[in-house]
């Protein structure tokens, strides 16, 4: 008889008894505060809910668990934003943002829009949406008189001489405090705020599979041949959809656009980049499942599903670590810092004493990527001809747009032809003043990023520089060589002491790392998290002794997989692509090739000798 599920406090991971559970039930906050975990089996596949990844602390790795901090928090009294060294308030966020970053649109010549889309998807895999939903949907009124009486409201003032909004009556940008274990009632408010999230903290494709086995079974699995449910519309394969009028795609054009994904994770329907990559991986799951079923007809639906999911997660990790990060951070830097290996064989860096969590700093510094986010999505046909462009902000919560007029074909082609925004100190005007389309009258995403960090309690920028590089920064003179002189002058205008500079403003203005395109402190904190992700994941794909580990031959097949191959396998109308699809092509480098020349996985590496082989490759179906 199986053991009963274990229930524990989500914040600390400790088991609790039935009487304590009843208290949370009475307070109606078990969703956030209590984690229910089935007994762990050390030999099972990776769980959808993320639990039991660490057998010493089964709750860690699950959704609704806390972040860790790289550095301890600093707050003023009552956990309000810290004051400056001289006791003043920190500078107004909107004024600071418009002084540090100009508004404009400069096309980049190095990386493609595909890199930005995959970065957005990666972030969505580990960070939940409730903070954004809170100020967009739950409490959109913080700039009205009602907001004055709501402690959750912390809007940003727009100065009268604002370079954009001076020509309007907009003098306030809506914002709310982050959700925490304290704000939802799990623990008392007189304790240090611990930010809460809904996603599983490891990179495990939760955007596709969700974080609940019950919801996955209801919305995702077909329970046939290891497949996910799917639909065919206009000759294309899609995740299952809902026609409910109350769906999350409420910005669809009501006349023509009806598609909205009814999948285990509603986050698939949010930003255009997240949506695209999720569709591709939903399709890829079924491509792999059909290939494995053809080779191993004796495998059960459960076995096919679990091995397919494992391969999907592994291919994406291979793309993140060995393809995307090297483009941005520099391959030699990542090898030197031990994040990737030159040896294609196994690696086992697992440490059960490192919990599968993400640092609070990691998703925050990822907001730097907004500087290279292009505000327009350019659409191309399969022959490379430019058709039109569309504002990215107008595609949020609008899945139905993909399923009309072959738009998904043209967007997919555009992702490998269009460049990102340039690596500079300029932010796209739509990101800096519109943000989320029609959901708010005005929204500067980066102003909110700057302001919200104050409620996270981050230490000053110079403390993170010291953590990363060991050298204390005591004066503005110490920033010479790290930040350009003219930008140091801007920082002096806002911060009397160098020790007051906030984390993201410092990162915004740093010169890029040698051998890469990103700021050094950004590099440090992101690599720190990617290392934690690797060493804390008991199911890490490069491990030779994990549960249901790959053979060496199988791992070498995973090594072949690239984002270019992903597009060839499941990208609409993609028959030709540059082999390094995160990089733009030119006449001397990275020339476009036929998909037949892009390496693919040989699924025969997963042949089970216990199964009778009655089929060959001619029986395979791409979809």
Does residue 324 contact residue 330 with C-beta atoms inside 8 Å? no
Does residue 538 contact residue 546 with C-beta atoms inside 8 Å? yes
Confidence of residue 1 (pLDDT cuts 50, 70, 90): very low
12: Cβ–Cβ under 8 A, 6 or more apart, which residues?
Answer: none
Tokens for 324, please give them: 């995307």
Q: Residue range 68-86: average pLDDT? A: 95
Does residue 53 contact residue 537 with C-beta atoms inside 8 Å? yes
Higher pLDDT: 131 or 382? It is 382
Tokens for 537, please give them: 């994941």
Does residue 336 contact residue 532 with C-beta atoms inside 8 Å? no
Would you call 531 exposed, middle or buried from its count of C-beta atoms within 10 A (0-12, 13-18, 19+)?
A: middle
Residue 354 pLDDT more than 60? yes
Q: For residues 531 and 78, give the distance between their C-alpha atoms in angstroms, rounded to a whole number.
A: 34
pLDDT at 243: 73
Q: For residues 52 and 6, give the distance between their C-alpha atoms in angstroms, rounded to a whole number.
A: 11
Does residue 42 contact residue 547 with C-beta atoms inside 8 Å? yes
Q: What is the pLDDT of residues 47-65, one digit of tens each?
A: 999 999 999 999 999 988 8
Would you call 470 exposed, middle or buried from its count of C-beta atoms within 10 A (0-12, 13-18, 19+)?
A: exposed
pLDDT at 246: 60
Among 28-32, 410-414, 502-506, the least confident range: 28-32
Evaluated on CA atoms 184, 187, 190, 194, the torsion sign reads: negative
pLDDT at 616: 46
* pTM of the entire predicted model: 0.94
Nearest to 5 by CA among 50, 38, 42: 38
Quick one: how far is CA 493 from the chain centroid?
A: 34
Give 244-271 as a 3 state SS string. Answer: CCCCCCCCCCCCCCCCCECCCCHHHHCC
Residue 335 three-state SS: helix
Q: Residue range 186-191: average pLDDT? A: 86
Does residue 209 contact residue 216 with C-beta atoms inside 8 Å? yes
Higher pLDDT: 198 or 337? It is 337
Q: What is the pLDDT of residues 517-575, one digit of tens each?
A: 999 999 999 999 999 999 999 999 999 999 999 999 999 999 999 999 999 999 999 99
Q: What are residue 453's phi and psi, to 5 degrees?
A: -60, -30
Q: What is the pLDDT of residues 256-291, one digit of tens each?
A: 999 999 999 988 998 899 999 999 999 999 999 999
Residue 450 pLDDT more than 50? yes
Which residue has tokens 């709750």?
Answer: 59
């Amino acid at each position: 008889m199986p053991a009963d599920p274990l229930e524990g406090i989500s914040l600390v991971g400790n088991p609790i008894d039935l009487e304590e559970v009843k208290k949370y039930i009475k307070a109606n906050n078990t969703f956030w505060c209590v984690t229910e975990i089935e007994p762990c089996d050390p030999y099972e596949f990776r769980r959808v809910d993320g639990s039991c990844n660490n057998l010493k602390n089964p709750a860690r790795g699950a959704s609704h668990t806390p972040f860790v901090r790289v550095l301890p928090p600093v707050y003023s009294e009552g956990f309000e934003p810290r004051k400056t060294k001289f006791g003043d308030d920190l500078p107004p966020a909107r004024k600071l943002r418009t002084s540090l970053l100009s508004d404009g649109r400069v096309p980049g010549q190095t990386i493609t829009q595909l890199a930005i889309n995959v970065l957005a998807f990666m972030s969505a895999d580990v960070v939940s949406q409730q903070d954004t939903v809170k100020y967009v949907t739950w409490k959109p009124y913080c700039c009205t008189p009602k907001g004055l009486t709501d402690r959750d409201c912390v809007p940003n003032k727009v100065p009268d001489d604002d370079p954009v909004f001076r020509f309007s009556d907009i003098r306030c940008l809506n914002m709310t405090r982050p959700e925490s274990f304290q704000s939802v009632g799990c623990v008392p408010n007189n304790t240090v705020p611990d930010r809460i999230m809904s996603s599983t903290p490891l990179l495990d494709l939760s955007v596709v599979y969700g974080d609940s086995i019950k919801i996955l079974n209801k919305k995702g699995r077909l329970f046939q041949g290891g497949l996910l449910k799917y639909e065919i519309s206009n000759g294309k394969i899609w995740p299952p959809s809902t026609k409910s009028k109350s769906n999350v795609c409420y910005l669809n054009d009501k006349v023509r656009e009806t598609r909205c994904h009814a999948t285990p994770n509603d986050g698939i329907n949010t930003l255009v980049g997240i949506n695209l990559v999720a569709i591709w991986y939903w399709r890829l799951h079924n491509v792999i499942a059909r290939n494995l079923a053809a080779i191993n007809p004796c495998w059960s639906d459960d076995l096919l599903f679990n091995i397919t999911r494992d391969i999907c997660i592994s291919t994406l990790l291979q793309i993140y670590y060995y393809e995307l990060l090297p483009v941005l951070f520099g391959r030699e830097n990542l090898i030197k810092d031990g994040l990737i290996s030159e040896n294609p064989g196994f690696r086992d860096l697992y440490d059960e004493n490192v919990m599968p969590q993400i640092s609070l700093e990691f998703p925050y510094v990822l907001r730097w990527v907004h500087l290279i986010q292009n505000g327009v999505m350019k659409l191309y046909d399969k022959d490379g001809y430019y058709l039109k462009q569309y504002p990215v902000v107008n595609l949020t919560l609008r899945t139905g747009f993909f399923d009309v007029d072959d738009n998904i074909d043209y967007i997919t082609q555009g992702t490998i032809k269009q460049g990102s925004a340039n690596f500079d100190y300029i932010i796209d005007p739509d990101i800096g003043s519109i943000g989320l389309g029609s959901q708010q009258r005005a929204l500067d995403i980066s102003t909110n990023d700057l302001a919200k960090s104050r409620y996270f309690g981050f230490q000053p920028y110079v403390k993170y520089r010291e953590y990363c590089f060991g050298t204390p920064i005591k004066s503005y003179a110490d920033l010479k060589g790290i930040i350009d002189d003219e930008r140091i002058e801007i920082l002096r205008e806002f911060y009397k002491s160098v020790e007051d500079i906030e984390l993201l403003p410092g990162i915004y203005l740093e010169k890029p790392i040698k051998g890469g395109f990103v700021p050094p402190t950004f590099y440090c904190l992101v690599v720190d998290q990617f290392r934690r992700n690797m060493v804390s994941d008991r199911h890490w794909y490069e491990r030779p002794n994990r549960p249901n580990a790959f053979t060496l031959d199988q791992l070498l097949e995973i090594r072949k997989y690239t984002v270019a191959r992903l597009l060839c396998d499941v990208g609409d109308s993609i028959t030709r692509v540059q082999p390094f699809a995160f990089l733009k092509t030119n006449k001397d480098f990275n020339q476009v090739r036929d998909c037949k020349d892009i390496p693919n996985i040989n699924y025969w590496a997963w042949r089970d000798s216990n199964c009778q082989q009655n089929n060959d490759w001619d029986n395979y179906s791409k979809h």
